Amino acid sequence: MTCDYISLANKGVQSLSPYQPGKPIEELERELGISHIVKLASNENPLGLGEKVQQAIQASLADIGRYPDGNGFTLKEALATHLSSASQSISLDNITLGNGSNDVLELIARAYVSVGDEVIFSEYTFAVYPIVTQAIGATAVVIKAKDWGHDLKAIANAITDKTKLIFIANPNNPTGTSFGVAEWESFIQQVPENVIVVLDEAYFEYVSGGIGTDGLDGTAYLKQYKNLVITRTFSKAYGLASLRVGYSVSDPSIANVLNRVRQPFNVNSMALVAATAALSDGDYLEKSRQVNREGMQQLTQGFARLGLEFIPSSGNFVTVNFKKEAMPIFESLLKQGVIVRPVANYGMPTFLRVSIGLAEGNAKFLEALSAVLANGG
């Protein structure tokens, strides 16, 4: 007798596809037997480990046998200070820490959405939204994109009595599009207060440097809109992707609910000390932004030279359109030791997403791309 353990799974899970991460460097090294691989596939910070973070982690190693502070007091305190200003006061009870912001996204869905409820998000947006929606057995309501970005008007119009949650990424991944204050304000004021809105600002630190959006900062709306949850991460501009630490800022009542469903020690002690140190390292963040600005210019100028169209991006990546199946180009780049990201799973089969690297990696990518295209892709 055999049992089919796929069909035994929850209905939503049965038709779920796993998240497809960027190809790890070690994997390509194993496959090709080469080194000096350039990975521009997961929107990681090319600067790597900062001095302050390194020192904090080293100092914390002695305590690795102990459980971390399950409340993350020190990091929350640092975040509260960091996020508070003359015009707004953020306190510890507004903050929920997560094992990456992905953890928080899942907590929100699990806590607020049940089987049969509707969750709204856009076409061409972050793959984690459909995954957490489907895993619960909720109904994904996917809204057609406008110019590869969020059509906030259409999203507001799609709200029904069954809508429990809306996911919005600004800037958006994988397209890099962003919207500003006016569009956001006319959207958020239309959303009923019993619908939770998650504004995912994973790339906030890149735009707050003055590029892209007109300075939209979701945390400024928390006081007025209690149904709003802002998520941010240490994985991108702060350069801690591997440590898995992100957070949400929300009304204390929402944070209270998330605190009930999270794992007791969802953020490890190294992540806690590293994130606290990263917050205090303004120089690293400034360098991250600068490297990103320069790299974005280098890549987009390179695309223009090669006659390639790209979607203007506010993030630390750019998505380029080859106007033909992009998978063979991705494969050819791999053979040259360059890993970028196919986005066919997002419904964009003619595009590749390229993360901004250091000048040398960007140059190597452009050189490889030029050679691949000269060979007919």
Nearest distance in Å: CB 42, ligand PLP: 8
Nearest distance in Å: CB 317, ligand PLP: 9
Strand boundaries in the chain, DSSP class E = 38-39, 95-98, 118-122, 139-143, 163-169, 196-200, 228-233, 246-250, 309-311, 317-321, 338-339, 341-342, 351-355
Task: Tell me if residue 285 falls in helix, strand or coil.
Answer: helix
| Using rule CB under 6 A, residue 317 touches ligand PLP | no
Judged by beta carbon, residue 90 or residue 202, the one nearer ligand PLP is 202
Burial pattern 16-39, b for ≥16 Cβ within 10 A else e, equals eeeeeebbebeebeeeeeeeebbb
Using CA atoms, how far apart are residues 16 and 29, in angstroms rounded to an integer?
30
Size of the site for ligand PLP (CB under 6 A): 14
Nearest distance in Å: CB 240, ligand PLP: 9
Phi, psi of 198 (to 5 degrees): -100, 115
Judged by beta carbon, residue 72 or residue 100, the one nearer ligand PLP is 100
Using CA atoms, how far apart are residues 19 and 341, in angstroms rounded to an integer?
13
Nearest distance in Å: CB 369, ligand PLP: 23
Residues 32-61 that bind ligand PLP (CB under 6 A): 43
For the record, the structure tokens of 216 come out as 């939209």
Phi, psi of 212 (to 5 degrees): 80, -115
- Which of 60, 102, 313, 316 binds ligand PLP (CB under 6 A)? It is 102
Nearest distance in Å: CB 123, ligand PLP: 14
| Using rule CB under 6 A, residue 169 touches ligand PLP | yes
Judged by beta carbon, residue 200 or residue 205, the one nearer ligand PLP is 200
Instruction: Please classify residue 358 by burial: count the beta carbons closer than 10 Å to its beta carbon, then call 0-12 exposed, 13-18 middle and 19+ buried.
Output: middle
Judged by beta carbon, residue 169 or residue 352, the one nearer ligand PLP is 169
Q: Cβ distance 377 to 324 under 8 Å?
A: yes
Residues 12-31 that bind ligand PLP (CB under 6 A): none
Q: What is the CA radius of gyration of the chain?
A: 21
Using CA atoms, how far apart are residues 237 and 218, in angstroms rounded to an integer?
17
Task: Tell me if residue 357 falls in helix, strand or coil.
Answer: coil
| Using rule CB under 6 A, residue 266 touches ligand PLP | no
Judged by beta carbon, residue 175 or residue 332, the one nearer ligand PLP is 175
Judged by beta carbon, residue 132 or residue 369, the one nearer ligand PLP is 132
Question: Residues 214-243 vs ligand PLP: string with x where CB under 6 A?
Answer: -------------------x-xx----x--
Q: What is the DSSP letter of 356?
A: -
Nearest distance in Å: CB 21, ligand PLP: 11
- Which of 183, 200, 205, 217 binds ligand PLP (CB under 6 A)? It is 200
| Using rule CB under 6 A, residue 173 touches ligand PLP | yes
| Using rule CB under 6 A, residue 176 touches ligand PLP | no
Question: Residues 109-128 vs ligand PLP: string with x where CB under 6 A?
Answer: -----------------x--
Judged by beta carbon, residue 164 or residue 353, the one nearer ligand PLP is 353
Q: What is the DSSP letter of 94?
A: G
Residues at the contact surface with ligand PLP, assessed by CB under 6 A: 43, 100-102, 126, 169, 173, 200, 202, 233, 235-236, 241, 246
